[in-house]
């Protein structure tokens, strides 16, 4: 069938609003307890309930957290690993009251029972201490003080309802991990005004016979280094990710020789620690390292034998990889491609073969309707450079009118410390299949391009990011790839702020969509939660000392400069971006 000639933006598409609204689960935090595999599954059709799911030794998959229970932590508001399974017993953080509960999976028809006291506590990011028979985790304590207090705590599994402080004093903690002997504990911490991608420190302490921490020692962290995911290898060497040389690379630390980079690469082995427990690498029992790393916005999967010189790539179709967990001779991970939704997959390190464990919703869309992302790097008007992914209008049933150019939608990701993903996004494909072009921008400050690129947003939020989205659109206009009279912009959260600032201070866009975005930077600085309460100190400057800058960059003070339609969406219960 010959394609129909029709104007860009008018093409009929099989990707309709009903398909966009079709619920697709997301997967995270795989783990195991002997022969059973567990993971967390978030289900939009159950109002976002997070369910702990088990695949037993026979391959049978079942929910082990009965409805309507919801395993979800609210530490830092964004949460983190909310469960751990020990000897067939599930310990999980219940979203409703944030208490920790025990559920015996070895018995049928049992009810969960609380193991922590009522009121004030939130928990995440667990490890099991077999010598003391307790859990060690991050706790956030909400009491009458203005800010919650964060600690590393121990929770005895003896029904004593105790929460025992192991480490306190810093503003934030993450990754408490016992070594293989159970005699040492490592963790990372950081303090205001730093975020965990700015400056963190790696600590190591002895675990006494009574279970307390002795002689804590700062082993990594120079104030200009962000450490991520400390982890012990099977031979009891401490590994971690650091951006001390610009790129988030893998390192190991030894008491005698200090810090050594596993293999320097112009790639990132970490993501910004918005949620606790994130994992980009792990070790199989024979010491094989399984890891993911991103280069130019696309993730790759690799392995490295203990004595190998180089990483060995694992063939796969994923462009986004996360949540790596290893045990025995296998690894599990969450992967997504440009043609399919996210899935949980299993890697056999002997043959380097991947197979899906479970999949998201299946799509009945012919791939010929799906636009594939093309990475572009372009110069900016302030003599810098930026990155983006460009999606061409794509629909096999239609072709454009001769001499015409497509309308463009520019997308600004949230964060702003974050990045866009090239995994299948039907919100993009909805538009490209109708004849729109899309530019998904990784503006300066985004992750995945090294520390130096990330730091280019410091003091420049509302300036550098806005310049990048404007210059990205101009880059396409100059190459006659899009219609300059039909350019819109959309973004959510921090990306919503970029949208409003671009519409307020520039005239290139003809329409905008702001989803739970920021119009008043002073309100954000005053009213947000502890984790992000000093975030703007580095993005803009300390408040109220730099109040004039906050006002100058806040669209709320320049409403008269808007000259095109804008649609707003805002949640009334949003604690991160208050309405």
**What is the tens place of the pLDDT at every residue in 308-353?**
989 999 999 999 999 999 999 999 999 999 998 899 999 999 999 9
Q: Is residue 390 part of a domain?
A: yes
- The residue among 326, 343, 362 that closes a domain is 362
Do 337 and 380 lie in a common domain?
A: no
In this predicted model, what pLDDT tens digit does every residue of 410-462 receive, in sequence order?
Answer: 999 999 999 999 999 999 999 999 999 999 999 999 999 999 999 999 999 99
Q: Residue 488, Cβ neighbours under 10 Å: how many?
A: 22
- Using the predicted structure, report yes or no on whether residue 480 has a pLDDT greater than 80: yes
Residue for token pair 């921090």: 494
Alpha-carbon distance 204 to 206, whole Å?
7
Q: Is residue 235 part of a domain?
A: no
CB 435 within 8 A of CB 7: yes
What mean pLDDT do residues 97-125 have? 95
What mean pLDDT do residues 269-288 have? 98
Chain Cα centroid distance, residue 418:
7
Sequence length of the chain is 579
Name the band, by pLDDT with cuts 50, 70 and 90, for residue 108: confident
DSSP annotation of 530 reads G
What mean pLDDT do residues 355-373 have? 88
- Using the predicted structure, report yes or no on whether residue 578 has a pLDDT greater than 80: no
Name the band, by pLDDT with cuts 50, 70 and 90, for residue 566: very high
Do 370 and 351 lie in a common domain?
A: no
Do 392 and 508 lie in a common domain?
A: yes
Q: Is residue 478 part of a domain?
A: yes
The token pair at 534 is 């000093």
Do 332 and 310 lie in a common domain?
A: yes
What mean pLDDT do residues 2-27 have? 91
Beta bridge partners of 31: 38
What are all long-range contacts of 547-552, with beta carbons under 8 Å and residues at least 24 apart?
547/522, 550/521, 550/522, 550/525, 551/521, 551/522
Do 371 and 357 lie in a common domain?
A: no
Contacts of residue 135, defined as CB under 8 A and 6 or more positions apart, other chains included, come to: 84, 86, 91, 100, 126, 127, 128, 129, 154, 155, 157
In this predicted model, what pLDDT tens digit does every residue of 129-171 receive, in sequence order?
Answer: 999 999 999 999 998 778 999 999 999 999 999 999 999 999 9
* pLDDT reported for residue 222: 86
Average pLDDT, the chain: 96
Q: Which of 137-146, 200-209, 499-508 has the lowest mean pLDDT?
A: 137-146
Alpha-carbon distance 381 to 389, whole Å?
19
Domain CATH for 455: 3.40.50.1820
Reduce the DSSP state of residue 532 to 3 states and report it: helix
Do 412 and 549 lie in a common domain?
A: yes
Alpha-carbon distance 231 to 148, whole Å?
27
The burial class, CB within 10 Å (0-12 / 13-18 / 19+), for 464 is buried
Do 465 and 510 lie in a common domain?
A: yes
- Using the predicted structure, report yes or no on whether residue 579 has a pLDDT greater than 70: no
- The residue among 321, 347, 362 that closes a domain is 362
Q: Is residue 370 part of a domain?
A: yes
| pTM: predicted TM-score of the whole model, two decimal places | 0.95
Pairing outcome for strands 487-492 and 408-412: parallel
Alpha-carbon distance 197 to 205, whole Å?
23
* pLDDT reported for residue 341: 85
CB 152 within 8 A of CB 139: yes
Do 471 and 356 lie in a common domain?
A: no
Q: Which of 345, 308, 340 is nearest to 325 (CA)?
A: 345
Specify the number of domains making up the chain.
Answer: 2
384 phi and psi angles, rounded to 5 deg:
-115, -160
* pLDDT reported for residue 484: 98
535 phi and psi angles, rounded to 5 deg:
-55, -40
What percentage of the chain carries pLDDT values higher than 90?
91
Query: H or E segment at 537?
Result: helix 535-539
Reduce the DSSP state of residue 344 to 3 states and report it: strand
Sheet holding 385-391, edge to edge: 374-379, 385-391, 437-442, 408-412, 487-492, 511-515, 566-569
- The residue among 362, 382, 412 that closes a domain is 362
Do 445 and 504 lie in a common domain?
A: yes
Alpha-carbon distance 572 to 579, whole Å?
6
Do 357 and 373 lie in a common domain?
A: no
Q: Residue 66, Cβ neighbours under 10 Å: how many?
A: 12
What are all long-range contacts of 91-97, with beta carbons under 8 Å and residues at least 24 apart?
91/115, 91/126, 91/135, 91/157, 92/52, 92/65, 93/122, 93/123, 93/124, 94/69, 94/70, 95/50, 95/70, 95/71, 96/70
In this predicted model, what pLDDT tens digit does every residue of 236-276 receive, in sequence order?
Answer: 999 999 999 999 999 999 999 999 999 999 999 999 999 99
Longest CA–CA separation in the chain, Å: 79
Q: Is residue 232 part of a domain?
A: no
Name the band, by pLDDT with cuts 50, 70 and 90, for residue 575: low
- Using the predicted structure, report yes or no on whether residue 524 has a pLDDT greater than 70: yes
Contacts of residue 180, defined as CB under 8 A and 6 or more positions apart, other chains included, come to: 232, 234, 236
CB 434 within 8 A of CB 395: yes
Do 476 and 488 lie in a common domain?
A: yes
* pLDDT reported for residue 63: 97
Do 488 and 381 lie in a common domain?
A: yes
Q: Name the residue range of residue 322's domain.
A: 284-362
Q: Is residue 398 part of a domain?
A: yes
Q: Is residue 174 part of a domain?
A: no
Q: Is residue 425 part of a domain?
A: yes
Q: Which of 388, 576, 410, 414 is nearest to 495 (CA)?
A: 414
In this predicted model, what pLDDT tens digit does every residue of 31-70 receive, in sequence order?
Answer: 999 889 999 999 999 999 999 999 999 999 999 999 999 9
Q: Residue 527, Cβ neighbours under 10 Å: how many?
A: 12
Contacts of residue 265, defined as CB under 8 A and 6 or more positions apart, other chains included, come to: 247, 249, 293, 311
């Amino acid at each position: 069938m010959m394609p129909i000639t029709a104007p860009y933006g008018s093409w009929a598409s099989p990707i309709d609003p009903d398909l966009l609204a079709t619920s697709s689960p997301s997967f995270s935090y795989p783990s195991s307890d002997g022969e059973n595999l567990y993971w967390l599954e978030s289900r939009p059709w159950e109002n976002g309930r997070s369910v702990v799911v088990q695949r037993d030794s026979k391959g049978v998959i079942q929910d082990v957290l009965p409805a309507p229970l919801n395993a979800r932590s609210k530490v830092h508001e964004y949460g983190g690993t909310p469960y751990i399974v020990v000897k067939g017993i599930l310990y999980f953080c219940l979203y409703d009251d944030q208490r920790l509960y025990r559920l015996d999976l070895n018995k049928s028809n049992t009810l969960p029972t609380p193991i922590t006291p009522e009121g004030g506590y939130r928990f995440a990011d667990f490890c099991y201490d077999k010598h003391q028979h307790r859990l060690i985790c991050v706790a956030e304590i909400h009491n009458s003080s203005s800010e919650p207090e964060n600690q590393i705590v121990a929770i005895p599994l003896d029904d004593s309802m105790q929460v025992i402080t192991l480490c306190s004093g810093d503003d934030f903690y993450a990754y408490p991990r016992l070594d293989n002997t159970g005699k040492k504990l490592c963790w990372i911490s950081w303090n205001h005004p730093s975020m965990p991608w700015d400056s963190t420190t790696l600590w190591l302490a002895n675990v006494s016979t009574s279970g307390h921490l002795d002689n804590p020692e700062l082993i990594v962290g120079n104030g200009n280094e962000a450490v991520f995911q400390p982890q012990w290898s099977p031979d009891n060497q401490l590994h971690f990710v650091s951006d001390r040389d610009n790129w988030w690379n893998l390192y190991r630390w030894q008491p005698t020789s200090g810090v050594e980079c596993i293999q320097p690469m112009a790639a990132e082995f970490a993501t910004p620690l918005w949620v606790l427990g994130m994992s980009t690498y792990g070790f199989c029992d024979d010491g094989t390292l399984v890891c993911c790393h991103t280069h130019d916005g696309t993730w790759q999967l690799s392995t490295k034998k203990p004595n190998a010189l180089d990483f060995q790539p694992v063939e796969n179709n994923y462009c986004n990889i996360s949540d790596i967990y290893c045990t025995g001779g296998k690894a599990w991970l969450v992967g997504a491609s440009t043609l399919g939704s996210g899935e949980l997959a299993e890697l056999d390190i002997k043959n380097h073969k991947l197979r899906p464990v479970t999949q998201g919703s299946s799509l009945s869309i012919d791939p010929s309707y799906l636009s594939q992302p093309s990475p572009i790097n372009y110069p900016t008007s302030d003599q810098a450079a930026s990155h983006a992914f460009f999606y061409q209008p794509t629909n096999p049933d239609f072709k454009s009118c001769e001499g015409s150019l497509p309308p463009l939608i520019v997308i600004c990701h949230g964060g702003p410390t974050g990045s866009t993903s090239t995994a299948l996004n039907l919100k993009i494909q909805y538009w490209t299949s109708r004849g729109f072009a899309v530019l998904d921008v990784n503006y300066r400050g985004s992750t995945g391009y090294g520390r130096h690129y990330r730091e280019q947003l410091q003091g420049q939020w509302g300036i550098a990011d806005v310049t990048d989205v404007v210059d990205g659109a101009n880059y396409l206009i100059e190459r006659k790839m899009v219609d300059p009279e039909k350019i819109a912009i959309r973004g959510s959260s921090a990306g919503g702020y970029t949208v409003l600032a671009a519409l307020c201070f520039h005239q290139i866009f003809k329409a905008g969509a702001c989803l739970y975005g920021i119009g008043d930077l002073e309100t954000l600085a005053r009213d947000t939660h502890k984790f992000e309460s000093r975030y703007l100190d580095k993005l803009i400057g300390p408040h109220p000392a730099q109040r004039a800058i906050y006002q100058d960059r806040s669209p709320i003070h320049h409403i008269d400069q808007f000259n095109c339609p804008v649609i707003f969406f805002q949640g009334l219960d949003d604690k991160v971006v208050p309405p």
